[in-house]
Amino acid sequence: MVDAAHDQVDFVPPAEVGEMELYHPKSWLTKYVFSQDAKVIAIQYSFTAIAIGMVALVLSWMMRLQLGFPETFSFIEAEDYYQFITMHGMIMVIYLLTALFLGGFGNYLIPLMVGARDMVFPYVNMLSYWIYLLAVLVLLASFFVPGGPTGAGWTLYPPQAILSGTPGSEGGILLMLISLALFIVGFTMGGLNYVVTVLQARTRGMTLMRLPLTIWGIFTATVLALLAFPALFVGAVMMTLDRMLGTSFFMPGIVQFGEQMQYGGGSPVLFQHLFWFFGHPEVYIVALPAFGIVSDLISVHARRHVFGYRLMVWAIVIIGALSFVVWAHHMYVSGMNPWFGFFFATTTLIIAVPTAIKVYNWVLTLWRGNIKLTLPMLFALGFIVTFVNGGITGLFLGNVVVDVPLSDTMFVVAHFHMVMGVAPILVVFGAIYHWYPKMTGRMLNVPMGQIHFWITFLGAYAIFLPLHYLGFLGVPRRYYEMTDTSFIPQSAETLNAFVTVIALIVGVAQLVFLFNIGWSMVKGKKSGPNPWRATSLEWQTATTPPGHGNFGPTLPVVYRWAYAFGLPGAKDDYVPQNMHPDQVAIGDTADLSGTAAQPAE
């Protein structure tokens, strides 16, 4: 007698529509460059995002060198510093994390996990990547125009963003705005693909409540992005018109060098509202895919079903909805009415509730599980600890009376990086270590991975915990140099130097990860089709790596959810989603595609 998964069925209705017709490449160029295969497009997105992310990493080194050792590096001028801040922030948030989670993991995992041959609109999917690449190239071009890239800060607040006293106020800001507009156009093409594929291309038996939480996270984040990015797009277009045509959407009456400028009647605060109406959902555009991926990593590597699956799904959806009514907690110092501050402080506390539910459910998933401290699990656990730490400081800053004195200090930098920098990046690493065997057929090197994890995890805390303390001391952010300031003790300078050294070490450790990816592709141990003994559909493909069309001659049929671990009476401790109940009863783990399940290394 074998206990069945809670939603297992013996019969799945026949398909209502036939399979989509696949595009078959005619040449090497259409197979690997202008590819319409979502898996190839995912890898293109990922490599491009990681490449531009390495540029942002180097920029952060330059900033830290200046903060840690002021007046030491003559090649870092004040205007350079502000340009580094602006480009580092925008690249990391938009061009790395958003592109990697949605364009990279979204493209690779959605068709495989829902049981589809490919995305619903492959040609549009291909276009979305090339427009993203164009956006990245336009952004990089701003480094080479007269005046360099914009130094307005990554939030691009007017009026200073387009006034002549700001670095990059000529070509730099225009290229930034054009690049953002291109990125949003490209993402919209990809985002519509992700949503329609999840809703319309699921295989037989794959109900919404059988989707892995990774897909729920990516799907909800995509819906958020489709609703939030237009605000940024409109803001970018309006600021471009202010700069090029002299309109006054965001520009009030301004006197510069004793002369009245042509602007008048615009509202700088309007841009702040548009930016943060996009900006706070953007936090969850990055966080929700991370939540979903971590849920799957914990379940697989603890050999236990996700605790409270439906509650986890609804928490993701509710977090997405609430993310649109908390944006002005970034604007407490902009002079808003106190009652608005009260409203947004309250909604900020409310959105913490479904987020806390997810943390509780992760802990309860681990409770009494058969926890395997594999590399993906280490990064998943690191994410939980880091996200909780960053979330607690977020509750501080969500309170108006605490936020106002801390708003312009290093405390905000520390909070933002814990939540929006370190935590998602840990998930990115965990996901790559987890799905790399599926992408390449080989395992990543474990000793190199251990070195990478511990230096990254401990180093991140050695960097950002001291910044919280510096914030409490009153050390301001955005300052190129402190000089002699009576209220900042000598210990702040020592800490800044310490943080800079650690940041350099952590940055170099990422080269170990990149080397591991390249080395393991050639020398890595062969993984087999399912090295983690996972249940979801991407591990049940006919070949590893999956071929064109993902699955064999027929698409899989789903009989249960994606978390059937530890069923009493079953031969193995996992039951794939597409295994017929009759096979489970006799303990037969042979996959319907003809590939046998492999034990974990």
The mean pLDDT of the chain is: 91
Share of the chain above pLDDT 90, in %: 79
DSSP code at position 15: P
Residue 24: per-residue pLDDT: 78
Extended beta strands in 179-253, E state: none
pLDDT for the residue 336: 84
What would the mean pLDDT of 347-355 be, rounded to a whole number?
94
pLDDT higher than threshold 80 for residue 198: yes
The whole-number pLDDT of residue 353 equals 95
Query: What is the spatial distance between Cα 103 and Cα 44, in angstroms, rounded to a whole number?
Result: 9
- The whole-number pLDDT of residue 439 equals 94
Shortest CA distance to 291 belongs to which of 93, 195, 424, 395?
424
Peptide bond into 13 cis (omega under 30): no
Share of the chain above pLDDT 70, in %: 95
What pLDDT, in 10s, does the model give residues 381-437? 999 999 999 999 998 899 999 999 999 999 999 999 999 999 999 999 999 999 999
Answer whether residue 284 shows pLDDT above 60.
Answer: yes
For residues 89-97, give the mean pLDDT: 96
Question: With b meaning 16 or more CB within 10 Å and e meaning fewer, what string describes 466-475?
Answer: bbbebbebbb
How far is Cα 299 from Cα 293, in angstroms, rounded to an integer? 10
User: Looking at the DSSP assignment, which residues form a beta bridge with residue 476?
Assistant: 409
Entry pTM:
0.93
The pLDDT of residue 195 is 97
pLDDT digits (tens, 9 = 90+) for 111-144: 999 999 999 999 999 999 999 999 999 999 999 9
Nearest alpha carbon to residue 116 among 197, 195, 189, 191: 197
Domain residue extents for the chain? 31-204, 373-527, 536-601
Question: In this predicted model, what pLDDT tens digit does every residue of 289-339 receive, in sequence order?
Answer: 999 999 999 999 999 999 999 999 999 999 999 999 999 999 999 888 888
pLDDT recorded at residue 590: 41
Burial of 243 (0-12, 13-18, 19+ CB in 10 A): buried
